């Protein structure tokens, strides 16, 4: 991880989770995105879908509470929730492909200013891990990314063009990093909210493409 600047991982996820609207079906990727499930949804009905066919699962199971037959897409034991449904893998992806997922939140190595993103294969690697990312990225109504703003060695992850093999072209709508919240559209990348304690110049210096800075730039509420 790069230096602990700006938002914590949970704060990044909490900010993205505020975008989830009442009634949404939400798919959370492995890693940081799973922390979106810890956000406060007391004012909205949110249903979590996992690639392995679990629709409407509950919280991560505490030690001793695990059911050996129930995991989420990250292989974490989760608790059943009233109304939960199980389907097989082909039906799980049928509902993904037919656009029933309102948002998929994924991690990424890189996001381009055109909304391409890369999250399945590292430079020079022969193997990779696609999992359900390509199906979700191509078919969910919205793709949100949550990631550290820079790599371990300080290189920007939001860049002009992805140099790693991409997961899908032109699909990312919103990115939350420890530096703030970013929108991607025809205008390119807009910094819509900045993390507390950071300056616009710091964000620009750590970003590999031009940033649109709105006049009414907000600070991420934490």
45-61 b/e (C-beta count within 10 Å ≥ 16 → b): ebbbbbbbbbbbbeebb
Q: How far is the CB of 9 from other proteins (least distance, A)?
A: 15
Question: Does the annotation mark 51 as catalytic?
Answer: yes
Q: How far apart are CA 113 and CA 127, in angstroms?
A: 26
Catalytic, out of 51, 113, 148, 193? 51
Using the minimum distance from each CB to other proteins, give the nearer residue, 88 or 141.
Answer: 88
92 lines the binding site for other proteins (CB under 8 A) = yes
Q: How far apart are CA 112 and CA 21, in angstroms?
A: 26
Q: How far is the CB of 129 from other proteins (least distance, A)?
A: 4
Q: Which range, of 33-41, 90-98, 193-201, 206-214, touches other proteins by CB under 8 A?
A: 90-98
126 lines the binding site for other proteins (CB under 8 A) = yes
198: tokens are: 């950071």
Environment class of 80 (CB within 10 Å of its CB; exposed 0-12, middle 13-18, buried 19+): middle
| Residues in contact with other proteins by the rule CB under 8 A | 30-31, 50-54, 67-75, 80, 86-90, 92-93, 96-97, 121-122, 125-135, 138-139, 165-169
- The residues annotated as belonging to the active site are 51
């Amino acid at each position: 991880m790069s230096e602990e600047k700006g938002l914590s991982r949970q704060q990044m996820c909490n900010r993205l989770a505020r975008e989830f609207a009442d009634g949404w079906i939400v798919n959370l990727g492995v890693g940081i995105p799973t922390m979106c499930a810890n956000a406060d949804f007391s004012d909205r009905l949110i249903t979590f879908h996992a690639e392995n066919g679990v629709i409407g699962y509950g919280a991560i199971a505490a030690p001793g509470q695990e059911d050996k037959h129930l995991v989420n897409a990250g292989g974490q034991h989760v608790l059943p929730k009233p109304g939960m449904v199980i389907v097989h893998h082909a039906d799980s992806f049928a509902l993904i492909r037919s656009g029933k997922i309102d948002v998929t939140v994924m991690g990424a190595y890189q996001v381009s200013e055109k909304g391409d993103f890369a999250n399945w294969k590292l430079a020079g690697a022969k193997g990779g891990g696609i999992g359900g990312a390509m199906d979700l990225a191509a078919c969910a109504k919205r793709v949100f990314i949550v990631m550290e703003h820079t790599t371990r060695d300080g290189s920007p992850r939001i860049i002009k063009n992805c140099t790693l093999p991409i997961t899908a072209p032109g699909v990312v709508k919103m990115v939350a990093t420890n530096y703030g919240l970013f929108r991607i559209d025809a205008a390119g990348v807009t910094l819509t909210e900045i993390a507390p304690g950071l300056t616009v110049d710091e964000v620009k210096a750590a970003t590999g493409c031009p940033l649109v800075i709105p006049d009414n730039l907000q600070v991420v509420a934490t």
